[in-house]
Amino acid sequence: MMQTMGWLQWVTWTAGVLAFAVVIGLVIRGVRRAARQAPEQPSAAARIAREAQLSPALQAQLAALNQRKDHGEISEAQYEQLRAELLQGH
pLDDT tens, 61-77? 888 988 998 899 999 99
CA distances from 42 to 39, 49, 63 (A): 10, 12, 14
Q: Where are the domains of the chain?
A: 55-89
Summarize pLDDT for 2-23 with one digit per residue, the tens.
577 788 999 999 999 999 999 9
Please give the model's pTM, rounded to 2 decimal places.
Answer: 0.45
The rounded distance, in Å, linking the Cα atoms of 33 and 25 is 12
